[in-house]
Amino acid sequence: MDLIKVRDGGVRSVYESFLWNVVDEGRAITVEIARLADIIPQYIVDPGKSRFKPILLDYNYFINCEHHDNMLSMYQDLDDDIFAENKQLFSNLVNMFDSLASFITTFKQYLEEASSDSRLEEWDAVRELELEAFYFIGLSCLSLERFFAASTLERLVVLLFRLLDDRSSGLVFVLDFLHAPQNAEDTLFSRVGIPLPFVDEILEVFGDRFHEIQVHSSSLSRIRPILPSLLFLSLRFRPHTMSNTPRLSRILDLFFRDQWVISVGGHIVNLVDDWSNQKLLSSLLASRITTGRARMLTEQQLTALQTVDLPQGSMRISMIPSLIPQLAKYNAALQWLCLHSYDKSSSRKSAGFTTIVRSTLNGHFEPHLAMASVARVEHNMITVYERALRTKKDSLEAATSSVSSLIDEIIEILKLTPNLPLKEDRKTKLMDWFVVLKTRLQEEAQGEKGAEIAIEVKQRIDHVISSVGLSLTLAAVSPRLQQSLDALYALSSLNKTHLRSLKVTSAPGYAVEMLTSWSSHLQYMLVNSPLLLRAFCYKLFLTVGVEAVSVHSSTRRSPLARALSSRLSKRLRTSLASLPHQIFEVIDTCVIPQLEHRWPTALDKSEVRRLADIDERLKLAEGTRALANLSLGVASLSSRAMGGRPREVVSEGIRRELRVRLRKMISCEGGVHEAIARAGSESTLLRTALISACEHMRVPGSAIWREEVASLFEKEAERIVDRAAKRKTWDDNWLDREGAERRERSIMRMMIDATNPKKTRYIGHEQTWRDAKSGKEVFTPAILSRLEISLPLCTSSMSRLLRARASISLRSILTQMRPLMPTSEVTPEGLVRLSRSLPSSMGDELAGMTQSLLLAQYLDHARRRSARLMVPYVSRALEATTQFTNEEGDNSSLLSLLPLLRHLGLSPTGLSLSSLSSPSSPTPLSPIAAVCIALWLTEVGGVQTTLGTLPLPSDTKTRLCLLRDTVVAGRYPNKNRPKAIDIQNTIDVV
């Protein structure tokens, strides 16, 4: 069927609807290929040192499947593990292969059933959509070549073929489509099987009759931006069968005469490298691109970039019409310079061209800075444009009213000014003319031709004022009238099509691949120029919006935008990689030194002199500025429109750094006293400094600290106890940790060694452990109180470990004594062996169990002592509770709860009670909830409450329980305990 000559709108609308679906599917496939390429495990890409290497086979598997299956049967566990680890990835790959097979097959069937006429008599949406669908087929092949090595694709296909019982049609399709190339002509493009007449027609139309297309077609709105990429992909579909030198020469003259590096769907392609194996194309390109021409083109583009005067300061709506073509010129030059100075050359010839471009620029051009500079202007302009579009109707009325009032002012001046160089009748006609002009503006300025009328009125008024000699008379009004007419013209010119074209021009899709090479520059911008970085990221994320708007189906836009945004955010994460290290550097150099100094209550001269120390103040100011810049840098990447969530990345980095610090803090050499004292002081300083620094960036430092400390102690204790339970034995070596350079001892292991009955003796009346030989004091329980205050989770985890150690020792003793039970039968020889081994082994077990229970007792004593210290705070909380329940108190009377809640980890220093919140819960902890906690702690009115479902961290609930038991111990006998109610109900009732 001839699609060009068909006049039946119904048939063409069916084809158009079908092609829209095909194009949207092709765009989604290219995005999915890029997304999956980022999450392929490294052991599949390079299985050399992976444990999965035996099961990752290439296409040689299909030569003798039965033989390989027999060999792989012994690796069933590896098959199960790799499938369990990558189940979702494999499912996504199969879906992508199915979509790719359907996409290619469907479009090929369409070309066979409804081929276009080679004569161009009409150019419409169907024709453009055909070319766009063909473009996405080529882009899919190019993406597979660029993102995946051929060996990786083979390993994935074989793995899916072996592991999946239900082999889809897409998997069968890629078996033949994705094998490694056998020769230079065997490529993914040649395997697609696009009809060569269709490819020839594209090359003929754009090589021989491109000017004819421009005459016959009103626009090439969809494919004009991708024409060079479309022609490049067309040549990839039949590189070796092309011998029409004149046609190729015309194509190169039209599309590649001034560029040899292009962006194809985000892939940077150097034509010198890509066409190096094609003699005809390579020679034609070499005749057009020489070293002298490369230098001349670079100078031209640099001059074009520098001649654009980017406005500074606020943006006015009247500036936009004249600024749009300037920005288009700037972005075109910027794209050319970025692409041709990007160092990704694979041959000496292309590297020579890159060197020439860079030497010509000679420091006059930094791509990331040039992009950030124009991005600030574009951000302001797009923001103003979008705001003006939303209020266009009201703004037009206001602008028309302003112009009308200024025309009335001109009429009044003409009426009242004597001795004008005009006769009375001419003055009357001139005033009538202004009235007619005002009436026309009021009637037509808000119509479709409002912009034309505004510019026409401006030109006519300029001409009349200058021709009749009224320039001096109207000097005060004329400039304001010109500005108002410019604003009216700009407002009338506003439309969504122009805004979309502005975003398309500004979106740097080519820059995504360059982000890795710009990583160090972006990190510097993050710390020193966060506002520039924000504008830079805004410009990058314009690409996401442009691609999403290009999708015809509204249901596909949001998933596509999320996928693109996620991929771009991953590229930007490299710029945030050094941020946590810089945060801890500021903490070490600025925050902790300030916290270490304790200011006395009464200041003497030396302390006052320190307050005025310039170096100290400068150091503090630099640290504050660094934190503020880091905060602004993180905030600059947190825009909702960008789609990225950098605070999560920063939090992950802070967690990694904190884990390293905590391991160093609790794993140290030296005596146990020094180790625990150092860990206690360092943890207090580090916790306060971390929370202070994180608050600047709105990162939950308190939650990060609590979760990482809990992970370090509680999860490690859980792991050791589980291992001991499985093996039914205890080994103190499990308490050791692997240090960065040497095997270091943990605090727990140091306590075990310091209280070892074989090496030390416990002196009961002194409550100390002394060395068995020298009598030197080795360990005292007093140091545990300090550890309980600074790291309470450490003491609770240690207590659990000690009890588990004692339990396992007791179980071992009972196991050894089982032969002595009355129900057991033992031979005389067995009794002899038992009599020889039992004293030593049982002695060791009994000593270890006693030691563990004694240490656990002292740990519990330290925790109870810490709770008793909070009794005064509870008393003051009780007074505040009484005032509140008697309706005599307010928020100020509840401030006495702050010390208690700080001890429970619910309130960082400096926050008011009304803003208290549970770090593990997004809901605020209200004063009423604080009062209920005090009620629960003190059992006011004889009513015992329970924590119930109040959203509190587990360690906070543990502290609360221990504190309540200490405060109310002995108040009630067990039989007289009051009835318990749920604290959440209490909160609801109050």
pLDDT at 510 over 50: yes
Q: Which residue has the higher pLDDT, 183 or 390?
A: 390
Structure-model confidence comparison of residues 350 and 974, the more confident one = 350
Quick one: pLDDT at residue 694? 79
Tens of pLDDT, residues 37-70: 988 999 899 888 888 888 888 888 888 888 888 8
Greatest CA separation for the chain? 146
> What was the pLDDT predicted at 309?
87
The one-letter code for the residue type at 502 is L
355-369, 723-737, 957-971 — most confident range:
355-369
The string of pLDDT tens digits covering residues 654-687 is 888 888 888 777 665 666 666 677 777 777 788 8
- Contact between 620 and 590 under an 8 Å Cβ cutoff? The reply is yes
Three-class SS of residue 504? helix
Q: Which two tokens stand for residue 584?
A: 């801890």
Contact 491, 594 (CB under 8 A): no
Band the pLDDT of 396: cuts 50, 70, 90: confident
Which structure tokens are listed for 725? 């339970």
Query: Can you list the pairs that 306-315 forms with residues at least 24 positions away whose Cβ atoms lie under 8 Å?
Result: 306/364, 308/333, 310/373, 310/374, 310/377, 311/377, 314/380, 315/377, 315/380, 315/381, 315/383, 315/384
Select the highest-mean-pLDDT range: 372-381, 637-646, 895-904: 372-381
Q: pTM of the predicted model, to two decimals? A: 0.69
Whole-number Å distance between alpha carbons of 782 and 862? 8
The burial class, CB within 10 Å (0-12 / 13-18 / 19+), for 380 is middle
Which of 616-620, 646-650, 700-704, 983-987 is predicted most confidently? 700-704
- Residue pLDDT, tens place only, 801-843: 777 777 777 777 777 666 665 555 666 666 666 666 666 666 6
pLDDT attached to residue 974: 46
User: Which residues, at least 6 apart from 548, have a Cβ–Cβ distance to it below 8 Å?
Assistant: 557, 558, 560, 561, 564
pLDDT band at 270 (very low <50, low <70, confident <90, very high): very high
Higher per-residue pLDDT: 652 or 609: 652
Please name the residue that has the structure tokens 């007074």. 879
Q: What is the pLDDT of residues 578-634, one digit of tens each?
A: 677 777 877 787 777 777 666 555 556 666 666 666 676 677 677 777 777 776 666
Q: What is the pLDDT of residues 842-873, one digit of tens each?
A: 666 677 777 777 777 777 777 777 666 666 66
Query: What is the C-alpha to C-alpha distance for residues 248 and 896, in angstroms, rounded to an integer?
Result: 85
Q: Which of 93-97, 130-134, 305-309, 534-538 has the lowest mean pLDDT?
A: 534-538
Buried b (16+ CB within 10 A) or exposed e, 836-863: eebeeeeeebeebbebbbbbbebbbebb
The pLDDT of residue 756 is above 90:
no
Domains and CATH numbers, the chain: 1-194 (no CATH), 199-287 (no CATH), 290-390 (no CATH), 391-500 (1.20.1440), 674-867 (no CATH), 870-989 (no CATH)
Q: Which of 206, 192, 195 is nearest to 128 (CA)?
A: 206
**Spacing of C-alpha 766 from chain mean position:** 58
Assign 934 a pLDDT band (cuts: 50, 70, 90): low
Instruction: Indicate the length of the chain as a whole number.
Output: 990
Q: What is the mean pLDDT of the chain?
A: 75
Average pLDDT over residues 722-747: 57
Token pair recorded at residue 519: 């990583």
pLDDT exceeds cutoff 90 at 298: yes
| pLDDT at 474 (0 to 100) | 80
Pairing of β 737-738 and β 743-744: antiparallel
Quickly list DSSP for 640-694: TTT---HHHHHHHHHHHHHHHHHHHHHB--S-HHHHHHHHHHHHHHHHHHHHHHH
pLDDT of residue 793: 66
- Percent of the chain at pLDDT above 70? 70
> Which one is predicted more confidently, 165 or 144?
144
Contact status, residue 758 vs residue 745, Cβ threshold 8 Å = no
DSSP string, 787-841: HHHH-HHHHHHHHHHHHHHHHHHHHHHHHHHGGGSTT----HHHHHHHHHHHHHH
In the predicted structure, residue 330 carries a pLDDT above the cut 60? yes
Residue ranges of the alpha helices (H) in 63-124?
65-72, 76-85, 87-113
261: which strand partners?
Answer: 270
Q: What is the pLDDT of residue 317?
A: 80
Query: What number is the average pLDDT over the span 932-940?
Result: 49
* 62 vs 158: CA distance, rounded Å: 8
Tell me which of 811 and 240 has the higher pLDDT: 811
State residue 669's pLDDT score.
60
pLDDT at 143: 93
